[in-house]
Amino acid sequence: MNTIYLDNNATTRVAPEVLDAMLPYLTDLYGNPSSMHTFGGQLHRKIEEAREKVAAMINANPEEIIFTSCGTESDNTAIMSAVESQPRRRHVITTRVEHPAVLNFCQHLGRKGYRVTFVPVNRQGQLDMDNLLKMLDDDTAVVSVMYANNETGVIFPVDALAGILRDRGILFHTDAVQAAGKIPLDVQRVPVDMLTISGHKLHAPKGVGVLYVRKGTRFHPYVIGGHQERGRRSGTENVASIIALGKACELAAHHLDREIVYLSGLRDRLETALLGCCPNVRVNGDTSSRLPNTTNISFEYVEGEAILLRLNEFGICASSGSACTSGSLEPSHVLRAMGVPYTAVHGSVRFSLSRFNTEKEIDRVIEVVPGVIKELRQLSPFGREKISCPPE
């Protein structure tokens, strides 16, 4: 049975071209870029080439790119740097629907005595901009708002916000982990101060990330040690993964326009079919401003984890906002912040696509899901009472 992998917001397959680019640096070219001999020294140039490719994808200058170990480290570093470089400012603003890499770090700052504002979203998962703007004050050190949400794919108005915050002189960090490689990013057009990318969400391996820091932004390193990354992030470079990330960014930039059309076409086909397959099915999130690869669908009165387990038996991999499958004790904080009803949160499934998915795979999912939902609703006394599925 072939696997149909529709969980690309969790992680992606390393692209074959990316693997080819990185392999020599795990086998023959294993030197340390800091070494004086040619065995190490030649790697330095390769890292700089990767930096240029990452920078090109977001229209930055290469010297504004810092390689890190992951998206989480980049997010933590950005927010910590912002508060450390402005010790008199004690207020941090973020949203209620951030990834834990931002959300839990801000909660940590709250416990350390910072004032933290978690801005709400509306029922479509869209940012409450008016509310956010009202919260800004002279004490605000940084605003950290994600570019696109990992669970719903909703894209926030980061461009508008960046302009306003620049005019107000307030540092702005955006977690672009889910946006990078899926929609155009341009730091010349959108004046963010700091931006996070993670390798494993765009067909590079796990364990490598990027923090973009605009030239002129005061920066305090989070990982302190040697001189690597010009002292902005110490630790011997993860050479193979950095080279892989450079290649992945080059590929993403090259294929972006075509992939947006391809993925949104596949996603819409899947979504339309599933919405029509049975009653009490809904899409979570603002469909007018969404990543091209993501749909979050609630099949009410069914447990998300039961759906995932059944889909898994058909070789279909997706994820859910219900508690057990999300690896936490609580159901999705994103869907709850949107006011999605309890029954819909528990029956939510996220399908997230990549360039490696095919029409045939989507058709197979469209064929399998209705039967799974019908079967599970018939098994659940709650579902049987509430929903009568149409006969096949």
Query: Which positions lie near ligand PLP, rule CB under 6 A?
Result: 70-72, 75, 99, 101, 146, 150, 175, 177-178, 198, 209
- Closest approach, Cβ 390 to ligand PLP, in A, equals 37
Our CB check for ligand PLP shows the closer of 140 and 294 to be 294
- Closest approach, Cβ 100 to ligand PLP, in A, equals 8
Q: Can you say whether residue 9 is alpha, beta or left, with left for phi > 0 and alpha for psi between -120 and 50 degrees?
A: alpha
Q: Read off the tokens for 354.
A: 């990549």
State the Cα–Cα distance between residues 345 and 335, nearest whole angstrom: 6
- Closest approach, Cβ 28 to ligand PLP, in A, equals 28
Our CB check for ligand PLP shows the closer of 178 and 217 to be 178
Judge whether 324 counts as a catalytic residue: yes
Q: Which residues contact 201 (CB under 8 A, 6 or more apart)?
A: 8, 9, 11, 12, 71, 177, 178, 180, 181
State the Cα–Cα distance between residues 373 and 379, nearest whole angstrom: 10
Q: Read off the tokens for 35.
A: 């070494």
Our CB check for ligand PLP shows the closer of 321 and 370 to be 321
Which is the catalytic residue, given 106, 277, 317, 324? Answer: 324
- Closest approach, Cβ 244 to ligand PLP, in A, equals 14
- Closest approach, Cβ 173 to ligand PLP, in A, equals 12
The closest residue (CB) to ligand PLP is 71
- Closest approach, Cβ 179 to ligand PLP, in A, equals 9
Our CB check for ligand PLP shows the closer of 6 and 376 to be 6
State the Cα–Cα distance between residues 174 and 144, nearest whole angstrom: 5
Our CB check for ligand PLP shows the closer of 150 and 284 to be 150
- Closest approach, Cβ 374 to ligand PLP, in A, equals 32
Our CB check for ligand PLP shows the closer of 310 and 333 to be 333
Our CB check for ligand PLP shows the closer of 195 and 387 to be 195
Taking alpha carbons only, the member of 146, 140, 215, 143 closest to residue 174 is 146
Catalytic residues: 324
